[in-house]
Amino acid sequence: MTAAPRQLDLEPNPDLAVGADQKPAWNRPSNRRHGFRNLHRLSRYGLHIRAPQVLRLHDDPDPAIGRLDKVAALTRPGSPFAAIAVVQGQRLLYEAYSPDMAPDQPHSIQSISKTPVNLIVGRLVADGRIDLGDRVDHYLPEIGSGYGAATVQQVLDMDVVNNFNEDYADHYGRPALPGESLGYNREEIAMGWRLPPPGEKEFSCRDFLCTIESEDITNPSDETQYRSPNTDVLAWIAERVSGEGLRDLLVQVVAAAGIAGTYYISTDHSGVPVIAGGASLTARDLARYGLIFARLGRGVQGEPIGDEAFLRRTLADRGTQVGDCRGWVRYSNHCYTNGRWLGHLGFAGQVMMADPQTGSAIAFFSVIESQDGDQEGYFPAVMAMGQQIFDHLT
């Protein structure tokens, strides 16, 4: 008679298990610096991409950058600072690292991951394959009410109202009860960054998109309505109209950037890249990537990877007003911009800025260790630092 199999002793994955604070272990404030340096290997699923041709960076130090008052203030010991790299053309002008970082260390770039959408959609608009005035459900008839009536342009500008709540202190990852908003923690399950509640199966990012609802998508103000699922909607449209998978579209972007290391990106359980926030790069490679925007959509071999006209419209006085930088910074075509530079911010202190006027780009990593990953005035201060660097290079 065969003995019954012995029950094996199992436990939830300790990096992804959710604690009493409703955060996975890697993203608890006390673990966050380690988590951001290792998210490329901690998320449940992922892929990596390397460029066939590398943009060489030549050391050409400009010590005056480190003496700029805003740079010195944001890179001081004991601050959230992790890394900074400033490049102009092929010149590496300045870089600095905290003791727990190094030039070859990948770091989560969080929502800077969204910026390839500007390049991909811009090229599809230039090719006549996307009309920015079309409704989302023209391209994605299966999408729910949270996006169906919105135009592509509204989604690009974070100008859509629905029941998704981008609250990083969100207290639940369970399904929303009637009348509740869908929280960011719920999206993290789809992203493979946390385990689902006991007894619940995994779901994909696109499954999640279709559960978002809205009675009226109209933004009653001119302020940015920041929602990470917008990026996934745009990437899905790009796949649908181009006939290419998102992975293949990102391969083209990575090749155009000429990064030296590896572009890591999380995927959901169905294999779709988490373009809303899942990428990790070194500081130098993020700066190399930023140069695509400084070159107004040209890759390292001169190939069009975005569209210059679309990028110039991105820089124009348009888009939604960024609340804590009102009158100074707008959200336009999936980038932050003040009319001179464009780039993006990422959760807990990540910033990429590119300046076409000087042909330069800045990568800045930091880790804010508060519960919600925010610190009042921090991002405006980093953007002001970037502006000071660009002014110095002018």
Instruction: Say if 3 falls within a structural domain.
Output: no
Instruction: Say if 327 falls within a structural domain.
Output: yes
* Number of domains composing the chain: 1
CATH code at 352?
3.40.710.10
Task: For residue 184, give the 3-state DSSP assignment.
Answer: helix
The tally of CA atoms less than 13 A away on the side-chain side of residue 31 is 14
Strands (E), 284-327: 320-321
Instruction: Say if 380 falls within a structural domain.
Output: yes
Instruction: Say if 315 falls within a structural domain.
Output: yes
Given this model, what pLDDT does residue 182 score? 84
Instruction: Say if 42 falls within a structural domain.
Output: yes
Smallest Cα–Cα separation from 33: which of 319, 348, 264? 348
Instruction: Say if 59 falls within a structural domain.
Output: yes
pTM of the predicted structure, to 2 decimals: 0.96
Domain that includes residue 281, residue range: 32-132+223-235+243-393
Angle at 134 between CA 304 and CA 176, to 5 degrees: 105
Tell me the Cα Rg of the chain.
21
Q: What is the pLDDT along the chain (394 residues), one digit of tens a residue?
A: 677 778 899 999 999 999 888 899 999 999 999 999 999 999 999 999 999 999 999 999 999 999 999 999 999 999 999 999 999 999 999 999 999 999 999 999 999 999 999 999 999 999 999 999 999 999 999 999 999 999 999 999 999 999 999 988 776 667 777 777 888 889 999 999 999 998 899 999 999 999 999 999 999 999 999 999 999 999 999 999 999 999 999 999 999 999 999 999 999 999 999 999 999 999 999 999 999 999 999 999 999 999 999 999 999 999 999 998 988 999 999 999 999 999 999 999 999 999 999 999 999 999 999 998 999 999 999 999 999 999 999 9
Instruction: Say if 284 falls within a structural domain.
Output: yes
- Whole-angstrom Cα distance, residue 111 to residue 346? 4
Instruction: Say if 345 falls within a structural domain.
Output: yes
- Whole-angstrom Cα distance, residue 95 to residue 62? 10
- Whole-angstrom Cα distance, residue 304 to residue 228? 26
